[in-house]
Amino acid sequence: MRIVVERREALSAAADVVVSGVFERSEKETTFPRALEKEDAALKGAIRAAWDRKELKGKRKELTTFHTPDGHHRIVLVGLGPRERYDAEVVRRASAEVVKGLKGKAARTASLRLPSFAVDPVGSDAAVRALVDGTVLGAYEFLKYKSTTEGMVEEATIHLGDEFSREEAGLKKAASEEIALADAVVWTREIANLPADTATPERLAEEARALGKDLGLKVTVFDEKKLAEMKCGGILAVGSGSAHPPRLIVLEYPGGARRGRTVAVVGKGITFDSGGISLKPALHMQEMKFDKSGAVAVLGILRAAATLKVPPRVIGVMACAENLPGGGAYRPGDVVRTFNGKTIEVVNTDAEGRVVLSDALGYVVAQYRPDEVIDLATLTGAQVIALGDDTAGLVCTDDKLANGLLAASAATGEPIWRMPLTDYHRELVKSEIADVRNSTELTIGGMLTAAAFLESFAGASTTWAHLDIAGPAYTTVSTRKYQPGYQNIGATAFGVRLVTRYLQSVVHP
Ligand code: BES
Ligand code: ZN
Ligand code: ZN
């Protein structure tokens, strides 16, 4: 999708479709909204007529199409819902509904009328960014394996009109920043959607190397031999049942200042999670190709961080392995020794995410002494039960970091909810025969005992945040209809916009 910003009035452009937003009418509202007068004039009163007969209601997801008298152009009105509940997320969703609704409708170009979306409390800058997100992400589909496709909008122009033409320079800058971010999200989805036969740990390493080359980032890949030398017994154990050996991948973005802060971003990269010897049931197992979403999000975050030149230095770590029950697989009862010397009693081979992350966290903390560590992982089914599949679980014992992430969440519309971590959870992951165990005797509070396990590898004195993205990392045919229009079926790249936004807010001491 190409996005352009133009001063010219949308209605005088030659696009296939002109798009305006319309608020939901309240019961007692009888007068025709003044905001639609220009559109109505272009259509010789057709919009007013639709309003009068209550065909046009302005409800969310409502799309009403009008054809110009010459038959060559269309005006699409998208419902924005109640005026008093208007925010940037409404714009993101509405613009996604528009591009989805125009799919297969011979609309190659669309002109979006900014004045109809930049309405209090959504300023022009926020509206432009939300329109970019909604159209780019809403238009995304995973088409690699499709032989036939229906035409999608290819070019969307945001028209400032007389109302906003004076802000042209600022709004163009906002758009180009947001386009870079949305492009990183689309790129992340393309990789996260790849099936496990293709997206092996080595393939993810290749993607990281290619990205590094593109953006001038240092990339280091530790293969199984090197991991053995480093005594990374966790990631090696998880990968031992697969013919595709594990990789620990490190990317470094140097940061905007010479002596700034260092933030490490660590991702779970299980290219396929069969459960291993503790095999999962067959139903929905195909979804476990998305168990690499945290690591792939790290790739996307590094791409966005380097493109947008965020202030802090960022270290990205991807812990990649395939969890299969091959002849060499690790088993329940095994005890593995990880990078920092701590031992894990393996109780359940399906709790493998925390095992690969133990080495990744131990390594990045020892090697880089980061000021902050943020991990992203499709870690537990318990997260999905607790928060559903739109909201990620945040576990963080540092209020400043937690509040920074919550603020980024509010700004990007990627929902997260903070959950507690106490000695109760820490107690549950203690082992009789090793330092910790990877699964507990009581199957309660699963998202939080998993976090307690990770904390023991990040170190209690490290400023660390854990994002359990098991639910929001992907959507399926059945969950898709409850998700915003800009989340396609498949990988969502959840966390890329959120964490990048957070990194943009990290200031130097
Ligand atoms: N990859 C799964 C978690 C998951 C579940 C991700 C659903 C996405 C959707 C993880 O490795 C896992 O299997 N966790 C177990 C842990 C348990 C054995 C302690 C779980 O949540 O059941
Ligand atoms: Zn698992
Ligand atoms: Zn897993």
Domain containing 197 — which CATH number?
Answer: 3.40.630.10
- Residues 309 and 442 both lie in one domain: yes
Per the residue annotation, which of 57, 280, 337, 342 is the catalytic one?
A: 280
Structural domain for 86, as ranges: 2-166
Ligand 1 atom nearest to 473, measured from its CA: 8
* Residue 71 dihedral angles phi and psi, to the nearest 5°: 80, 0
Asked if 294 and 196 sit in the same domain, the reply is yes
**Same domain as 129, residue 194:** no
Residues 162 and 206 in one domain: no
CB of 381 closer than 6 angstroms to any ligand 1 atom: yes
To test the ligand 1 pocket, which listed residue (320, 324, 345, 380) has its Cβ within 8 A of the most ligand atoms? 380
Residue 280 designated active-site: yes
Both 277 and 364 in a single domain? yes
Q: Which of 297, 471, 452 is nearest to 391 (CA)?
A: 471
116 and 240 co-located in one domain: no
Does any domain span residue 171?
Answer: no
Strand order in the sheet with 335-337: 335-337, 343-345, 436-437
pTM: 0.98
In contact, 317 and 360? CB cutoff 8 Å? yes
Q: Is the CB of 353 under 6 A from ligand 1?
A: yes
The values of phi and psi at residue 192, to 5°, are -65, -25
Beta strands 2-6 and 155-159, pairing class: parallel
- Residue by residue, pLDDT tens for the chain (509 residues) are 999 999 999 999 999 999 999 999 988 877 899 999 999 999 999 999 999 999 999 999 999 999 998 888 999 999 999 999 999 999 999 999 999 999 999 999 999 999 999 999 999 999 999 999 999 999 999 999 999 999 999 999 999 999 999 999 999 999 999 999 999 999 999 999 999 999 999 999 999 999 999 999 999 999 999 999 999 999 999 999 999 999 999 999 999 876 789 999 999 999 999 999 999 999 999 999 999 999 999 999 999 999 999 999 999 999 999 999 999 999 999 999 999 999 999 999 999 999 999 999 999 999 999 999 999 999 999 999 999 999 999 999 999 999 999 999 999 999 999 999 999 999 999 999 999 999 998 999 999 999 999 999 999 999 999 999 999 999 999 998 899 999 989 999 999 999 999 999 998 76
Kindly list the strands in the beta sheet with 2-6, ordered across the sheet, starting from the edge strand earlier in the chain: 2-6, 155-159, 109-113, 17-22, 74-79, 63-67
- 115 CB-contact burial (10 Å; exposed 0-12 / middle 13-18 / buried 19+): buried
Give the count of beta carbons closer than 10 Å to the beta carbon of residue 22.
24
Sequence-distant (6+) residues with CB within 8 A of 155 are 1, 2, 3, 4, 108, 109, 110
Query: How far, in Å, CA of 65 to CA of 268, rounded?
Result: 44
My answer on whether 119 and 213 are in the same domain is no
| Dist. CA 356–CA 203, nearest whole Å | 18
Q: Does residue 177 belong to any structural domain of this protein? A: no
Q: Has residue 173 been placed in a domain?
A: no
CATH number at residue 93: 3.40.220.10
Strand 416-419 vs strand 392-396: parallel, antiparallel, or unpaired? parallel
CA separation, residue 239 to residues 100, 200, 357 (Å): 40, 11, 13
**Domain closes at, from 109, 134, 166:** 166
Residue 121 carries which side chain, given as an amino acid letter? P
Q: Is residue 472 part of a domain?
A: yes
SS3 call for 157: strand
Residue pair 503/465 in contact by the 8 Å Cβ criterion: no
B/e letters for 46-72, b = 16+ CB within 10 Å, e = fewer, are bbbebbeeeebebebebebebeeeeee
Tell whether omega for the bond before 121 is within 30 degrees of 0, i.e. cis: yes
The answer to whether the CB of 493 falls within 8 A of the CB of 188 is: yes
CB 36 within 8 A of CB 22: yes
Does residue 21 belong to any structural domain of this protein?
Answer: yes
Q: Residue 110 and residue 154: Cα distance in Å, rounded?
A: 8
- Structural domain ending residue among the three candidates 131, 166, 201: 166
- Residues with Cβ–ion distance below 5 A, ligand 3: 270, 273, 291, 353
**Which residue among 119, 138, 166 closes a domain?**
166
Asked if 269 and 351 sit in the same domain, the reply is yes
Query: Do residues 229 and 369 share a domain?
Result: yes
Q: Does residue 400 sit within a domain?
A: yes
**Nearest protein CA to atom 16 of ligand 1, as residue:** 351
Catalytic pick from 292, 303, 354, 501? 354
Within a domain: residue 452? yes
> Does one domain contain both 137 and 77?
yes
Regarding whether 378 and 478 lie in a shared domain, the answer is: yes
Ligand nearest to the CA of 287: 1
Q: Is the CB of 446 under 6 A from ligand 1?
A: yes
Domain total in the chain: 2
* Residues 218, 146 within the same domain: no
Question: Residue 176: inside a domain, yes or no?
Answer: no
> Residue 64 has which token pair?
């009403």
